């Protein structure tokens, strides 16, 4: 997924995790990465809108969006070159090279203008990525700063998992930890803080009885409205 310097420790760490897992990632993750399709369906991408997925993994989500929004401009970054290899294979196999543009980059320091020639995006999203990024708050702030006026930041990740008995939740979290995945209990508060700081509106919604969390930060459509909202 995405974390620190793609040339350094974080990229190497993710490569070690996914060097072999990338070949079975999609069929195995479908059973517990719940809410990804709901996020894709709620993006409501404007006509010829620009989209960025941070921690795009195998490009599974971007390929689905390409079918749903045939005129959208799609982009993805990931810190793992191993995962990007699988993503590029999927994009080529699907005939989507002209639609989906991928780059190796860090979630907290990426420069979209340098990577893609686009400074700001209409839609940016994280799909089960923040639970794998140690400086996850910085990643949210970086993404929020790359939103266009009227843009939206969407997130799906693990929720409080209150639907699980305590012992089951502890065992589940221990198992996730083997893959360097750590659900963020403070995620709702952090998203509300970022939304207030940039003059946006945050919506937080539990999915599947709290197993997952879906969130959206929406910016006002004009600078004037955004400035008013920030006051």
The pLDDT value recorded for residue 7 is: 47
pLDDT number for residue 225: 45
181-219 pLDDT tens trace: 999 999 999 999 999 999 999 999 999 999 999 999 999
Residue at 108 is within a domain: yes
Is the residue at 55 inside a domain? yes
CA separation for the pair 80, 7 (Å, rounded): 10
For residue 24, pLDDT over 80 is answered with no
SS3 state at 134: coil
Residue 171 lies in a domain: yes
Strand partners, 109: none
Give 98: exposed, middle or buried? Use CB within 10 Å, 0-12, 13-18, 19+: exposed
Flag whether 86 is in a domain.
yes
Residue 90: per-residue pLDDT? 93
Task: Residue 52: give its domain's CATH number.
Answer: 3.40.50.150
Beta carbons of 122 and 148 less than 8 angstroms apart: yes
pLDDT mean over 217-225: 76
211 within domain boundaries:
yes
Distance CA 183, CA 147 (A): 25
Its domain, for residue 194, covers: 9-230
Is residue 1 pLDDT above 60, yes or no? no
User: Is 89 a member of any domain?
Assistant: yes
Q: What is the pLDDT of residue 178?
A: 87
How many structural domains is the chain composed of?
Answer: 1
Report if residue 2 sits inside a domain: no
**Is residue 1, in this structure, part of any structural domain at all?**
no
| pLDDT value for 221 | 84
């Amino acid at each position: 997924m995405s974390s620190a310097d793609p040339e350094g420790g974080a990229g190497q760490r993710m490569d070690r995790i996914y060097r072999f897992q990338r070949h079975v990632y999609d069929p195995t993750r479908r059973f517990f990465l719940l809410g990804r399709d709901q996020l894709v369906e709620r993006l409501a991408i404007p006509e010829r809108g620009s989209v960025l997925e941070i921690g795009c993994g195998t490009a599974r989500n971007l390929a689905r969006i390409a079918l749903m929004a045939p005129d959208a401009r799609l982009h993805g970054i990931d810190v793992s070159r191993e995962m990007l290899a699988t993503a590029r294979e999927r994009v080529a196999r699907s005939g989507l090279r002209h639609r989906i543009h991928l780059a190796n980059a860090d979630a907290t320091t990426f420069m979209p203008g340098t990577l893609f020639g686009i400074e700001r995006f209409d839609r940016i999203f994280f799909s089960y990525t923040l639970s794998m990024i140690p400086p996850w708050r910085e990643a949210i702030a970086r993404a929020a700063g790359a939103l266009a006026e009227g843009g939206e930041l969407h997130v799906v990740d693990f929720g409080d998992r209150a639907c699980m008995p305590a012992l089951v939740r502890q065992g589940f979290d221990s198992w996730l930890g083997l893959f360097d995945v750590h659900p963020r209990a403070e995620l709702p508060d952090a998203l509300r803080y970022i939304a207030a700081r940039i003059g946006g509106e945050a919506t937080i919604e539990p999915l599947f009885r709290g197993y997952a969390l879906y969130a959206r930060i929406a910016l006002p459509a004009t600078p004037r409205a955004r400035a008013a909202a920030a006051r």
